[in-house]
Amino acid sequence: MDNVSILTDYQLLVVIVNFGLGSKVLKIAKQEGIGGGTIVIGKGTHRQPILEFLELAETRKEIVMMIAPLRLVNPTCDALEEKMKLHKPNHGIAFVIPVAKFMGMGKYDRSYKLNEGGDVMTEYQAIFTVVDKGKGQEVVDVATQAGAKGATLINARGSGIHETSKLFNMEVEPEKEMVLILAKHDIVQDIISAITHELDLEKPGNGILFVQEVHQTKGIR
Amino acid sequence: MTLIASKLKENIYAMLPIMGIVFILHFTLVPLSGGQILRFLLGSVFVILGLSLFLVGVDLAITPLGALTGEQITKPNRLWIVILAGIILGFVISIAEPGLIVFANQVHTVTSGLISSNMILITVSIGLALLVSLGFTRIIYNIPLFKILIVLYIIIGILALFSSPVFLAIAFDASGATTGVLAVPFLLALSVGISRLKRDVKASEKDSFGLVAIASAGAVMGLLILGFFAQDLVFTDPPIPIFSDTGLILAPFLHVIPSSFLDTIVAFSPLLGIFILLQIFGFKLKHRPLFKMIKGFIYALLGLFIFLVGVNAGFMEVGDLIGETLAVQERSIYLLIAAFFLGLFTIIAEPAVSVLTHQIEDITSGYVKRRLVLIPLSIGVGCAILLSALRVLIPELQLWHILLPGYTISLTMMFFVPKLFVGIAFDAGGVATGPLTATFTLAFVQGAARAYSSANLVLDGFGMIALVALAPIITLQILGLVYKRRTRKAGV
């Protein structure tokens, strides 16, 4: 499975930091040349028995997800580690996940190297679509018509190269919705085409979509 | 950073400006005695600790309880359940609000018992209850907030025409008094719980705000209607608490412990009641979340208690003294400047404000940032206190001279502002008037009114809360306009 890690020229860079620092992460990444990113609010905890008993162990986190071209992944990670002090404890974590397909940002990426390795890797794939708030339901509807059995909507905020604005010197990222669809690999292409077409993702600024391999599923029939 | 550490840090930052301005005044115009300064410092420590614990408790217990209750009453899909639940919830929350109880007693004294405190409590609670239930119905039927608000404020405007100036001030103040520390987080979470079930995310986001605004309008209407039946009132000056500088440090703190404890218990009782009832009949929470909520309640209860002790024992006296000393200064500009900055800074440490701003961040996934909401909110409240100080100096300036244009502007702006911000702004109006404003800043204005000979104590004592509730509505809607302009997509 060595070749799995390089499926496209893009990878998904995920950074989890304390609440309020997400915009800073995105800003640093943009300085390194990354087009944009999506931020989701989450809650995190780490093992501390006394605090857990007192129910105080939970902290608010921001999860920043960015699609990065391969050549930018390492420099961005290094820059983030240095500026966000990720090497110190409790300053956040970052990791990189391979991406099977990616489109949006005006580039329609047709170069899937899915079959180059010779074997179909997984039965299921995860399709992530990030669109402006309010359009998530449309994505779900289109995907359902194309054969998807369900979808999960996640509230997020984020910005691409076309959306940057500042208020009192603070970055403001517009609201987004992230749609997660798990689908069998044989209908993935249909769903992608339908979403790309209906939401006009080939045009810049309308949203992005990427696909990841899923190695195990439970609960999908 | 853990939850408690981040709250502590947040509240220390929130308290520093207030402490700063008191110290600046101490070394310039209003020298305080050693005992007063030490009590103020101790009070600040209490406020920081109490506020942090309380907010952790709100996160763990009150917000989840509100959201769960909201879901519980909408799930059966029966309108009568929603309406009935709105009336019951609105009534019990309002009638146990410590701020309202204090307020009702004050009105009782000022009107020489003609309007009894029970009468006030019940009218306000009924008004609030009916409108909370209207607010629920609005969310379910997707009726736009601005339409409801226009209708409500037109009714209020008509009622206000027939009301005496003093009663107008009392009525508007009541709306601020009802939406206190516990009611606000609970009402906010309730609307989130109800609107969460919607399929349309945009509508769900907008409808998460506005319930506090509608509820406060209910309190105003209730009292204005009560005013009809009590036309010929004679108003007497309210007894102003006289603070004697005892030089003792701890005694005042021990003195307020029983009353603060009672206030806390009374305020929590309806929420605890709702929690126990719904846990038995509705939620049936499992072991872990149940204990989490119980621990949250303990934090919130302890926190509110410590907070109230700190404010009552350490802050009121200082506020009163600053107001009194500045009002007799030769140049009244000092009073106005101090008023503006006191308003600007106290609002940041107001518990319900912290809850609202966090809620805004959560619901918009961080699109509307906390600090960005705080800036216009602070400026708004600063202007409100400034206007209150002006009213003390210029007796001709009546409350309606400010309220009428203020609300006209607010209502007109609704048509241009993104609808999300309309809800946020009108909610912020109710939220801004919490326990810190109602004690520290009110003591400041009353102190000034007492010292300034031409001031009318009855008229000036009331009305400040009304202004504090009005100003943020305008400033936050301006923020909405700025957001609208700045976040358009550029050159796609």
Interval A75-127: pLDDT, tens? 888 898 888 888 888 788 899 988 887 776 545 444 444 444 444 567 888 99
Please answer yes or no on whether A41 and B492 come within 8 Å at the CB atom: no
Please answer yes or no on whether A166 and B372 come within 8 Å at the CB atom: no
Which residues from A are below 8 Å from B when comparing CB atoms? 18-19, 22-23, 39-41, 48, 51, 54-60, 62, 90, 133-134, 136-137, 153, 155-157, 162-168, 170, 172-177, 203-205
CA distance A165 to A6: 34
CA distance B144 to B152: 13
Mean per-residue pLDDT for B371-387?
Answer: 91
CA distance A108 to A203: 9
Q: Is the pLDDT of residue A221 over 80?
A: no
CA distance B65 to B297: 10
For B9, residues 6+ apart whose C-beta sits below 8 A from its C-beta are B1
Report the CATH number that the domain containing residue A94 is assigned in CATH.
Answer: 3.30.70.120
For B485, residues 6+ apart whose C-beta sits below 8 A from its C-beta are none
State the Rg of chain B over Cα: 21
Whether B90 and B143 have beta carbons less than 8 Å apart is answered as no
ipTM above 0.95, yes or no: no
- In a domain, residue A221? The reply is no
Domain that holds residue A101: 2-214
CA distance B52 to B58: 10
The predicted pLDDT at position B340 comes to: 92
Q: Is the pLDDT of residue B312 over 90?
A: no
Q: Average the pLDDT over each of B37-41, B68-72, B201-205 and give the range with the smallest value.
A: B201-205
- In a domain, residue A220? The reply is no
Interface of B with A in 50-79 (CB under 8 A): 56, 60
**How many domains are contained in chain A?**
1
Which chain A residue has its CA at the smallest distance from B3's CA?
A: A59
Quick one: pLDDT band at residue A169, thresholds 50, 70, 90? low
- In a domain, residue A38? The reply is yes
Mean per-residue pLDDT for A38-42?
Answer: 88
For the stretch B112-157, pLDDT in tens is 777 788 888 888 899 999 999 999 888 888 888 888 999 999 999 8
CA angle (A62 as vertex; A60, B195 as ends), nearest 5: 75
- In a domain, residue A219? The reply is no
For the stretch B406-451, pLDDT in tens is 999 999 999 989 888 998 999 888 888 877 887 788 888 888 887 7
Please answer yes or no on whether A166 and B489 come within 8 Å at the CB atom: no
On the 0-12 / 13-18 / 19+ scale of CB atoms within 10 A, B479 is: buried
Distances (CA, A) of B120 to A131, B13, B341: 50, 37, 33
The predicted pLDDT at position B150 comes to: 92
The tokens describing B159, both together, are 């009622």
Distances (CA, A) of B466 to B13, B48, B176, B179: 27, 26, 7, 12
Q: Average the pLDDT over each of A88-102, A164-178, B76-90, B266-280 and give the range with the smallest value.
A: A164-178
- Residues of chain A with C-beta less than 8 angstroms from the C-beta of B3: 56-60
The predicted pLDDT at position A108 comes to: 46
Pick from B365, B369, B482, B487 the residue to mutate for testing the A interface (most A CBs within 10 Å).
Answer: B365
The predicted pLDDT at position B443 comes to: 82
The predicted pLDDT at position A69 comes to: 86
- In a domain, residue A206? The reply is yes
DSSP 8-state secondary structure symbol assigned to residue A2: G
